[in-house]
Chains A and B, each alone.
Chain A
Amino acid sequence: MLPHPYRVQRVRRETPDTFTLALEPESGRRELAFAPGQFNMLYAFGVGEVPISISGDPAKPAVLVHTTREVGTVTRAMRKLKPLDSLGVRGPFGTRWPVTPARGADVVIVAGGIGLAPLRPALYQILAARKHYGKVVLLYGTRTPADILFRRELQQWHSRFDLEVHVTVDRAMSNWRGNVGVVTSLVARAPFDPYSTLAMVCGPEIMMRFTVQELERRNVAVENIYLSMERNMKCAVGWCGHCQFGPTFICKDGPVFRYDRIQALLAIREI
């Protein structure tokens, strides 16, 4: 429960309201191994603590990478951190994306906005073992071209022959040559075999609900769809109850859930 001190290696602005922190353990501390989909509790000393998804490569745990939106007091304080500043880290917590169970199947990754951050580690692992998967498709949607996350990496992935990448924005000026439209519109045309596909979806909950509808229309089985859920998380160890989601706790039973296991809960507005 106690945060371990980490040192800021670099802070990079990704979009107008999103930034990435690269952290390294203070001397003498071991690296933090993590699985794709997991999160850490990051503590800005004297300000507060927030859960942030790990967005780096699980094969490179020496540098712990987190990407977050600047939305509140704690994240605004983190945005102002400089190299060598200290931060507290607790974790990793939560369940993982089913990267290994997806071997042998096609993989569809659907990300909306900042939702690409917790999916990036899964994509890193899949690409590191590329021969074990069928078609791999990344569908990414965001608000405008200025809000595209990890732009340079997306361009690199787009240039690969063994990965299909489709990006769309909700609106754009006429100098944008890419797709304009909601991310769900990409699902209908994505090249994958729905009967042999595992889907990983992360983004605003409304976007995930609509995406699941489109995946189901394409006959992807509900037990092969995984979502990353979000609720207010405080303790991250299932004690405080803030992240309770029906009979589950997002912090320890999630954040990654198999869709059929939470399908009924998503329809209950009170939770």
Chain B
Amino acid sequence: MQDEYLQLLAGCASNVRFEAGQFVLREGEEAHEFFLIRHGKVALEVFAPERGSITIQTLGEGEVLGWSWLVPPYRWRFDARAIELTRAIALDGKCLREKSEKDCCLGYELLKRFSQVMVEHLQATRFQLLNVYDAH
């Protein structure tokens, strides 16, 4: 990525910290940022009545949390909760969206990287759906 874009991203970034048990984001809320996890672990959860919160994936050090800021309606689809003390870099997704509308090359660079993340998550989800450990 060009230095100019890296500088732009750095300008949109801030350090954040979540204590164990703290929600990072909640289903249905507006999605205007995403996170690069530097340390700790975050659980992606969905709440089911009479069953409680179900963890569908955990994300750890070096992983990206959140892509709903990229696609309309820009609302989180799941809860994300810190399982342990978690430190992350929060990036202003709304600002990056607006800048990408004006600079398509920036938009392409971001989409190239996020599409890779999405594909990996989709592959993993498809694998989970197969229930490979069930007796056949």
Contacts and interface: CB of A to CB of B under 8 A. Distances in A.
B132 A112 contact: yes
B126 to A, nearest CB: 9
A180 B58 contact: yes
A112 B54 contact: no
Shortest 10 CB-CB distances between A and B: which pairs? A174-B53, A113-B133, A204-B132, A143-B133, A182-B127, A180-B55, A180-B58, A71-B135, A172-B55, A182-B124
B127 A189 contact: no
A171 interface: yes
* Best-buried of B57, B83, B131, B133 by chain A (most CB within 10 Å): B133
Contacts of A260: none
A206 B135 contact: no
Contacts of A206: 127, 130, 132
A204 B133 contact: yes
A181 B57 contact: yes
A147 B133 contact: yes
Interface of A: 17, 69, 71, 112-114, 142-143, 147, 168, 170-174, 176-182, 184-185, 189, 203-204, 206-207, 210
Interface of B: 41, 43-45, 51-58, 60, 62, 81, 83-84, 124, 127-128, 130-135
Nearest to A172: B55
A173 B127 contact: no
A173 B53 contact: yes
A207 B81 CA distance: 28
A189 B132 contact: no
20 contacts: A112-B132, A113-B132, A114-B133, A143-B131, A143-B134, A170-B133, A171-B54, A173-B52, A173-B54, A174-B52, A174-B81, A176-B55, A178-B58, A179-B58, A180-B43, A180-B57, A180-B58, A181-B57, A181-B128, A210-B127
A180 B43 CA distance: 8
Nearest to B79: A174
